[in-house]
Amino acid sequence: MDDVAPLAWSSLPAEATRSEIRRRYADAFRLRAWIYWADMLGSACLGWALFAAAILVEPGSLAHLFATVGAVFALLRAALFIHELAHLRSGDLRGFELVWNLLVGIPVAVPSLMYVGSHADHHKRTGFGTDEDPEYAPIARWSRLRIALFVITVAFVPFLLLLRWGVLGPLSYLIPALRRFVVGHCSTLIINVHYRRPQPRGRTARRWAWQEAGAALAVWAAAAGVWLGQIPLHAVGQWFAVAAGILVVNQVRTLAAHRYENTGEPVDSQGQLLDSINLAGWSPFTALLAPVGLRYHALHHFLPSLPYHSLGFVHRKLLAELPKDAPYRQTVYASVLAPLQKLWRKQDPARASAI
């Protein structure tokens, strides 16, 4: 620990605490490009290698099961770099977004436009937990059935994504009304159905155009490959299984990111922190379910500019010196199962809100 006075979070304003953490651990805020590149490329290569292995081995065999599950978790880790892309400043990692889209985003039908830009609304102090937040809903007030459907139904999203990129996207450039619908309702990773994406402008619109073109070409090429007999149907089925697996696992992880107790009123920075969750345990299951720094979601909300590879270090430093009554300690859970169990047990069918 540094030879300085301990942080007194309980008595300092949030901004003063942030400034002190940035000053004390300045080196942790330096982005290590090689970690980003090695982690993303390694995860993507492993994921696609396992995906190929799952296609080549006997369907339904133990080897097929292991390859499929491995592909889901490896590609989930690679795919979740979309979250890092949303926080990177222009020039931080030149070429990273392009390579990520070519290796991961477009092949799994989730190009970066679906998160870059909209994710900033989740961090706005005036928008967090409101209808302007795409990634928040009052899930703590939902019934158990609605929570179960929230997880299960996302398995069908890959079908909708192919429709979005292969059909609706190209047509929307010809039909203005359809374009407004596609951008507003079909172009963002959300859990808040009331969120509406604004139309992209200028440089952002050009970035959207090449990503949509790439996604459309990928869908058309795959369809042509199946039509011509070059791509076997069981390979298409494997893609759907892995894509659905990624989305379902991520949906479960999403349930452990916040308490989801806010009902739409704006909250201050401490309220946003206390609604967020850190998964501080060393369980391999937790690490698989919440990779790329997402185990420290509360710390990320408090310090969104802190690179993912430094979150664990700063988290441990804070726990070592913060006073026992520091609000930050209220965000810590031992594993991913703890907040999930708490959320599930809270849903007393007699009082849970109707679907």
pLDDT given at position 354: 43
Give residue 267's pLDDT: 83
Count CA atoms within 13 Å of residue 197 on its CB side. 27
Question: Is the pLDDT assigned to residue 348 strictly greater than 80?
Answer: no
Confidence band for 264, pLDDT divided at 50, 70 and 90: confident
In contact, 344 and 147? CB cutoff 8 Å: yes
Q: What SS3 string covers 162-200?
A: HHHHHHHHHHHCCCHHHHHHHHHHCCCCCCCCCCCCCCC
* Domain locations along the chain: 9-30+109-346
Query: Rounded distance, CA 230 to CA 207, Å?
Result: 31
- CB-side exposure of 224: number of CA atoms within 13 Å? 7
What pLDDT was estimated at residue 283? Answer: 81
Confidence of residue 265 (pLDDT cuts 50, 70, 90): confident
Residue 32 has pLDDT above 50, yes or no: yes
Reply yes or no on whether the pLDDT at 1 is more than 60: no
Q: Look at residue 353 in the predicted model and tell me its pLDDT.
A: 46
b/e string for 297-331 if b means 16 or more Cβ within 10 A? bbbbbbbeebbbbbbeebbebbeebbeeebbbeeb
Average pLDDT over residues 14-25: 82
- Integer Cα distance of 109 and 81 in angstroms: 14
Query: What region does 195 belong to: left with phi over 0, alpha with psi -120 to 50, or beta?
Result: beta
CA end-to-end distance (rounded Å), the chain: 49
- pLDDT, greater one: 20 or 115: 115
Higher pLDDT, 263 or 122: 122
Tokens standing for 165? Answer: 């990129």
Report, as an integer, the average pLDDT of 34-57: 98
Indicate the burial class of 201 (C-beta count within 10 angstroms; 0-12, 13-18, 19 or more). Answer: exposed
Contact yes or no for 242/50 (Cβ under 8 A): no
pLDDT at residue 352 greater than cutoff 80: no
In a 3-state reduction of DSSP, which class is residue 261?
coil
For residue 4, what pLDDT is reported?
53
What pLDDT is recorded for position 2?
Answer: 46
Q: What is the pLDDT of residue 43?
A: 98
By DSSP bridging, strand 332-333 and strand 278-279 are parallel
Q: Say what the pLDDT of residue 5 is.
A: 56
What are the pLDDT digits (tens) for 279-336?
987 788 899 999 999 999 999 999 999 999 999 999 999 998 888 888 889 999 988 9
Q: Specify the residue for token string 């979070």.
A: 9
Q: How many CB atoms lie within 10 A of CB 247?
A: 24
pTM for the predicted model, two decimal places:
0.92
Phi, psi for residue 126 in degrees, rounded to 5: -85, -10
**Looking at the predicted structure, is the pLDDT value of residue 229 above 70?**
yes
- Percent share of the chain, pLDDT over 70: 93
Distance from C-alpha of 55 to C-alpha of 234, rounded to nearest angstrom:
7
| pLDDT tens-digit map of 93-151 | 999 999 999 999 999 999 999 999 999 999 988 889 999 999 999 999 999 999 999 99
pLDDT, tens digit (0-9, with 9 covering 90-100), for 155-197: 999 999 999 999 999 999 999 999 999 999 999 999 999 999 9
Percent of the chain with pLDDT over 90: 78
Model confidence at 49: pLDDT above 90: yes
User: Can you give the pLDDT at residue 15?
Assistant: 67
Q: Is the pLDDT of residue 349 over 90?
A: no
CA distance 103 to 3: 45
Q: What is the pLDDT of residues 209-221, one digit of tens each?
A: 999 999 999 999 9
Average pLDDT over residues 45-64: 97
What is the model's pLDDT at position 16? 65
| pLDDT of 260 | 95
pLDDT higher than 90, residue 259 = yes
Q: In this structure, what DSSP letter does residue 349 have?
A: T
Q: What is the pLDDT of residue 8?
A: 57
The DSSP code for 7 is P
**pLDDT band of 30, cuts 50, 70, 90:** very high
pLDDT, residue 7, reads: 59
C-alpha angle with apex 346: 302 to 250, nearest 5 degrees? 55
pLDDT of residue 147: 96
